[in-house]
Amino acid sequence: MISTATINTAYIVTSDETLHSSSHKVALTSFIGLIATCSNKVLKQNKSVDNQFNKIDGIYFIDLFYCNWNNKIPDDILQLAQRSKIVLFNVQNDQLCEKNLLLAGFEGIFYLSDRPDLILRGLNQIKNNERWFKRSSMNNAFSYLLKSNKASISPSNSITGKSVFPTLTKRENTIIKLVTKGSQNQEIADQLNISTNTVKTHIYSIFRKTKSRNRIELITWSLQSSGHLDAAIN
């Protein structure tokens, strides 16, 4: 049995123009039903993202049943992903590049072919401040970040360990390294022999201290400071 966390408010962004399709109605109703099992409130917005949603604290779930993005994410959605949590659902297989979504700050993606139990597991993971993507896509994103930051990591432009790690504990430094390798909360807990709740507490603290909003920003930060991170752990 999969336990479900509580999502404060889920904002469903879809379009009434496509709901004449019975297959779309079934897919949308099914997904909303799954969200409702782990959310305090579900609000449905029957049009594209607009200004009234610019300052919300919940999670956007954007319906891509009839997606015409052609693998290019619209600018307004990209901008929204920089300040809000966005999850895409009802996506066709191979419709979008997961690596690009990860690098753009999206929280997760659910496909039309996903089983209900898999969707519930993903929703629970997103609630726990983890991303929901294929492991291969996460590895590709990490490899890209590593390569793109490699040139900037050098003694000439690095910051002293004292200024980069003013309050990070050795355990927090270890967790940062594990996150950078793509480890999820349960994997970190198993490796360090601590509970997942303790891992979450450490990660919240790490986000605050490194001024990171999510794991991608934390990974970028850690790659730019990798030499000092190794020294702090060893």
- Say whether 94 sits in a helix, a strand or coil: coil
Structure tokens that stand for 36 in this block: 């409702």
Please report, rounded to a whole number, the percentage of residues in the chain having pLDDT higher than 70. 72
Q: Which amino acid is located at 95 in the chain?
A: Q
User: Average pLDDT of 45-69?
Assistant: 67
Structure tokens that stand for 182 in this block: 């793509």
Q: Which residues pair with 87 in a beta bridge?
A: 61, 108
Phi, psi of 90 (to 5 degrees): 55, 40
Specify the CATH architecture of the domain 139-233.
Answer: 3-Layer(aba) Sandwich (3.40)
Q: What is the mean pLDDT of the chain?
A: 76
Q: Would you place residue 42 in the very low, low, confident or very high pLDDT band (cuts 50, 70, 90)?
A: low
For 189-223, the pLDDT digits (tens) are 999 999 988 988 898 888 888 888 777 778 878 77
Residue 53 is predicted with a pLDDT of 52
Q: Does this chain's domain 7-132 share its CATH topology with 139-233?
A: yes
Provide CATH code, domain 7-132.
3.40.50.2300
Q: Residue ranges of the domains in the chain?
A: 7-132, 139-233
Which residue from 41, 60, 58 is spatially nearest to 50, judged by alpha carbons? Answer: 60
